Amino acid sequence: MKIAVGSDHRGYKAKELIKTIVTQLGHECIDVGTVDGNPVDYPDPAYLAAKAVAEKRADRAILACGTGIGMSISANKVKGVRAALCYDELGARISRHHNDANVLCVSGELLGEVLLRKMVEVWLGTDFAGGRHLRRVQKIEAIEKDKDPTSVKNHNG
């Protein structure tokens, strides 16, 4: 898979670790910045990574800022993106399995290296379950189109 990876200055060290993990797992890494620890506004790399996913230039993206909150809010503004803010392995797994999240947002300051590695491994290795969860993702897509999600009547699963 092609994985876009981005951060602001507070997530820079985590982003560099994420790049190593992604590469070690055999995936291609697309670094959208930042390039050092100098201050940068989190919406900038969040937009670049989210657009790469939405435009199918990347299969998924992983973003890091101080808490992950700003990255999540920013990335979720891009149509076609389902960014999940996760702080543990279970959240990372469920975000893929139930929500088909295509962007993982993490804290660059609150997670240790071991937990961050496990979260990235699990998130990249977990498939979307489909079934009843597909209907829910379709409802999210309806909201993106400014439609009432209750209009989605797919009852598969």
Q: What are the tens digits of pLDDT across the range 73-119? A: 999 999 999 999 999 999 999 999 999 999 999 999 999 999 999 99
Same-domain check for residues 6 and 38: yes
What per-residue confidence (pLDDT) applies to 156? 55
C-alpha torsion angle, residues 68, 69, 74, 75 (rounded to 10): 50
Active-site choice (9, 97, 98, 133)? 98
Same-domain check for residues 102 and 154: no
- Angle, to 10 degrees, between the axis of helix 12-24 and the axis of helix 113-125? 50
Same-domain check for residues 150 and 118: no
Same-domain check for residues 108 and 33: yes
Q: Which domain holds residue 41?
A: 2-126
Same-domain check for residues 96 and 142: no
Structural domain count of the chain: 2
Q: Is 65 a catalytic residue?
A: yes
Same-domain check for residues 136 and 65: no
Q: Is 98 a catalytic residue?
A: yes
What per-residue confidence (pLDDT) applies to 153? 83
For the chain, list residues with pLDDT below 50. Answer: 157
pTM assigned to the model: 0.96
Active-site choice (29, 65, 86, 105)? 65
